[in-house]
């Protein structure tokens, strides 16, 4: 058999391993072996590629792989679990960056003369560069927002959408001139060049435009909408990889890339559904900037506040407790203290479960990772529908750093969060809200839950208050 | 055009297969799914290896090498951190 046939068969095996590996990720019991299987698939694809293709300079290739593996390995091994959203964003950016680099290198290798390329090749090179570069800069901005380097609030300015649309059209026109000789010949005279001269400067403009576009698409998106953005960028990085597969005529690139594209798209849809908002609304809505007027109302209505001792009493003498974690838990890093409280309660015979909203936190499944880190058994984590069926028969709900996802205003058709699926915590007998202050959540609206008769406000930093709670529950 | 069409077939079918397989992932595993999928998007390393291996000009080599470094960070870091997370998902 010739080597290309062997390579193609190896790629096929790799594709099967990728698909079955992802399939195994759908159950906590098999997920770890699924991830191992996917990494085996990757290794196989890399090895056969190295064997099949002529490598002119092994030193450079090996050095690059070793450097990348060392950086990635160290980051993965030593990063704090709480920094997971940023890490996922930055890895994602590198994936997109790699695809853009491949497409750009292929453009140069083909002689650097776009319009002279075959149409199909030209289009895919342009798309690969565009999507890869948008993923790269967009992910880095997402990283900056999650890390706190860039403001988490939506950044908006006048005519933002118009500017984005114009830039997008401009980038498309540049891309079209690079990919199609006819477009090139009609656009080139406008900038005083001939169709063949535009390649270099236009390609540079394409890369620059795409990088700026990535930045502009992510900066208007606020912190709590990050799960959507992170999923979407994840999808882009897959599509970018698949596009380079078109450029290089490589099946495994297309298959693996489109699997990631599909995964990211599904997560994006799930996140949007969990907020009852369209993707367009998340991308361009700059949510959380309005509602300034609602803020004024805050604090004018009476609330019942409790201290650690009273909260501990209520929890310790309950039959069942449901904990609702939110981003505030991650910020305060109070997950370990929370676990201690839950352990103490369970020792007393209290049933403890967790209700996790799909968009709680800054990435899909953020709360689940946080609680898993604190050693909470995953079968105690219930998703929206399951926990909502239980609130009727729950004695106490303990809300830690969550706000909009428990706001009954979602049931009011006139509210900005109207129709968003929420955790129906107000159906429980007693609700304890652990929160720094009465300030509104990301949506910028007041939360009626805080003022209900069966709600107790437990103010303070989640970590400090949780430590107090550990002490008090122990003594209760 | 025939070759391009085959590639398009593969792309569409793989996307549909991905949708089928992934739509059943429970919310608990959303982060590992995302981070595992993220590692898989590092498949761009294959493209980077091909391009760098056949580099015929300095700039091609520079871009290709940058691609290899970025993709390897994505692949190695992504799979390792996913494994680290999944280790924590235990049932007691």
Contact A241 B25 (CB under 8 A): no
- pLDDT category at A200 given cuts 50, 70, 90 is confident
pTM here is 0.90
Chain A residue whose CA is closest to B31: A365
Average pLDDT over residues A362-370: 92
Q: Choose the mutation target among A91, A106, A232 for the interface with B, i.e. most B CBs under 10 Å.
A: A91
CA A68 to the chain's CA centroid: 23
Q: How many CA atoms lie within 13 A of A158 on its CB side?
A: 0
**What's residue A391's pLDDT?**
95
**Would the pLDDT of A293 be above 70?**
no
Long-range CB contacts for residues A330-333, cutoff 8 Å, separation at least 24 = A330/A82, A330/A361, A330/A362, A330/A366, A330/A367, A330/A370, A330/A401, A331/A401, A331/A462, A332/A401, A332/A461, A332/A462, A332/A463, A332/A466, A333/A82, A333/A463
pLDDT tens-place string over residues A403-427: 989 999 999 998 888 889 999 999 9
Q: How many CA atoms lie within 13 A of A476 on its CB side?
A: 22
Least confident of A120-134, A180-194, A365-379: A180-194
Q: Of A404, A424, A426, A446, which residue is the catalytic one?
A: A404
**Would the pLDDT of A432 be above 50?**
yes
Cα separation of A318 and A430, whole Å?
Answer: 10
**What's residue A116's pLDDT?**
60
pLDDT tens-place string over residues A25-83: 989 899 999 999 999 999 999 999 999 888 888 999 999 999 999 999 999 999 988 88
Contact A77 B64 (CB under 8 A): no
| Domain segments of chain B as ranges | 27-88
**What's residue A142's pLDDT?**
95
Average pLDDT over residues A117-135: 90
Chain B residue whose CA is closest to A120: B4
**What's residue A158's pLDDT?**
85
Average pLDDT, chain A: 90
Residue with the two structure tokens 């290896």? B49
Among B residues 33-72, those touching chain A with beta carbons less than 8 Å apart: 33-57, 59-61, 63-72
pLDDT tens-place string over residues A87-97: 999 999 999 99
Cα separation of A376 and A28, whole Å?
Answer: 13
Distance from CA of A243 to the nearest CA of B (A): 9
**What's residue A299's pLDDT?**
52
CA B69 to the chain's CA centroid: 14
**What's residue A118's pLDDT?**
78
Q: Mark whether A424 is an active-site residue.
A: no
Pure H helices in A148-198: 160-179, 181-187
**Would the pLDDT of B49 be above 60?**
yes
CA A187 to the chain's CA centroid: 38
| A260, B40 Cβ separation under 8 angstroms | yes
**What's residue A59's pLDDT?**
92
- B9 at interface of A, judged by CB pairs closer than 8 A: no
Contact B81 A238 (CB under 8 A): no
Contact A368 B33 (CB under 8 A): no
Contact A28 B35 (CB under 8 A): no
Average pLDDT over residues A441-463: 90
Cα separation of A353 and A318, whole Å?
Answer: 13
**What's residue A417's pLDDT?**
87
**Would the pLDDT of A296 be above 90?**
no
Q: What's the count of helices (H) and strands (E) in chain A, helices before strands? A: 18, 6
**Would the pLDDT of A459 be above 60?**
yes
Least confident of A12-16, A374-378, A438-442: A438-442
Query: Which residues, at least 6 apart from A398, have a Cβ–Cβ distance to it below 8 Å?
Result: A315, A321, A322, A323, A324, A432, A434
Query: What is the interface size between A and B, counted as CB pairs within 8 Å?
Result: 387
- C-alpha angle A323-A394-A390 in degrees, rounded to nearest 5: 90
Distance from CA of A306 to the nearest CA of B (A): 32
Residue with the two structure tokens 């689940």? A368
Contact A75 B42 (CB under 8 A): no
pLDDT tens-place string over residues A242-263: 999 999 999 999 999 999 999 9
ipTM for the complex?
0.96
Average pLDDT over residues A5-27: 94
Average pLDDT over residues A377-385: 93
**What's residue A283's pLDDT?**
75
pLDDT tens-place string over residues A138-194: 999 999 999 988 888 888 888 888 898 999 999 999 999 888 877 888 888 888 887
**Would the pLDDT of A331 be above 80?**
yes
A46 token code pair: 């890399």
> What is the 8-class DSSP label of residue A252?
H
**Would the pLDDT of A196 be above 80?**
no
Rg (CA), chain A: 26
Among A397, A413, A416, residue whose Cα is nearest residue A326: A397
């Amino acid at each position: 058999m010739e080597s290309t046939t062997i390579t193609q068969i190896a790629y096929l095996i790799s594709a099967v391993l990728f698909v079955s590996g992802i399939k195994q990720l759908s159950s906590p019991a098999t997920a770890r072996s699924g991830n191992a299987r996917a990494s085996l698939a990757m290794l196989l694809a890399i090895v056969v590629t190295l064997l099949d293709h002529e490598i002119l300079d092994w030193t450079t290739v090996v050095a690059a792989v070793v450097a990348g593996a060392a950086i990635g390995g160290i980051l993965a091994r030593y990063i704090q679990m709480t920094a997971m959203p940023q890490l996922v964003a930055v890895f994602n950016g590198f994936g997109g960056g790699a695809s853009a680099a491949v497409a750009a290198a292929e453009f140069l290798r083909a002689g650097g003369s776009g319009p002279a390329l075959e149409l199909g090749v030209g289009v895919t090179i342009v798309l690969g560069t565009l999507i890869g570069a948008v993923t790269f800069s967009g992910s880095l901005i997402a990283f900056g927002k999650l890390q706190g380097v860039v403001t988490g609030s939506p950044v908006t300015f006048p005519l933002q959408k118009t500017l984005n649309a114009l830039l997008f059209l401009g980038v498309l026109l540049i891309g079209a001139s690079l990919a199609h000789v006819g477009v090139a010949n009609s656009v080139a005279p406008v900038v005083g060049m001939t169709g063949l001269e535009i390649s270099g400067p236009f390609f540079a403009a394409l890369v620059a435009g795409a990088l700026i576009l990535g930045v502009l698409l992510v900066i208007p998106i606020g912190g709590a909408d990050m799960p959507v953005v992170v999923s979407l960028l994840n999808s882009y990085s897959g599509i970018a990889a698949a596009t380079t597969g078109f450029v290089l005529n490589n099946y495994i690139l297309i298959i693996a890339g489109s699997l990631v594209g599909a995964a990211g798209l599904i997560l994006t849809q799930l996140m949007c559904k969990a907020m009852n908002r369209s993707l367009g609304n998340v991308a361009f809505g700059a949510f959380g900037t309005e509602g300034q007027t609602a803020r004024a109302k805050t604090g004018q209505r009476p609330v019942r506040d409790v201290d650690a001792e009273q909260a501990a009493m209520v929890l310790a003498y309950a039959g069942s407790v449901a904990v609702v974690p939110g981003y505030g838990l991650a910020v305060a890093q109070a997950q370990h203290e929370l676990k201690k409280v839950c352990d103490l309660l369970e020792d007393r015979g209290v049933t403890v479960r967790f209700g996790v909203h799909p968009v709680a936190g800054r990435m899909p499944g953020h709360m689940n990772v946080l609680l898993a880190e604190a050693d909470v058994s995953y079968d105690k984590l219930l998703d929206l529908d399951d926990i909502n069926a239980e609130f009727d028969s729950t004695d106490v709900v303990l809300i830690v750093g969550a706000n909009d996802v428990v706001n009954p205003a979602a049931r009011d058709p006139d509210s900005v969060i109207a129709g968003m699926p929420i955790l129906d915590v107000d159906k429980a007998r007693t609700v304890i809200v652990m929160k720094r202050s009465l300030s509104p959540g990301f949506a910028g609206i007041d939360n009626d839950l805080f003022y209900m008769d069966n709600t107790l406000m437990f103010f303070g930093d989640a970590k400090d208050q949780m430590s107090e709670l550990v002490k008090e529950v122990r003594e209760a | 055009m025939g070759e391009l069409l085959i590639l398009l077939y593969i792309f569409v079918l793989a996307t549909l297969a991905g949708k089928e397989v992934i739509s059943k992932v429970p919310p608990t595993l959303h982060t590992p799914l995302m981070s595992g999928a993220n590692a898989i998007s590092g498949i761009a390393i294959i493209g980077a290896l091909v391009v760098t291996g056949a580099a015929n000009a300095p700039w091609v080599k520079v871009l290709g090498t940058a691609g290899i470094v970025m993709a390897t960070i994505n692949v190695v870091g992504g799979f390792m951190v996913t494994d680290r997370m999944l280790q924590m998902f235990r049932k007691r």
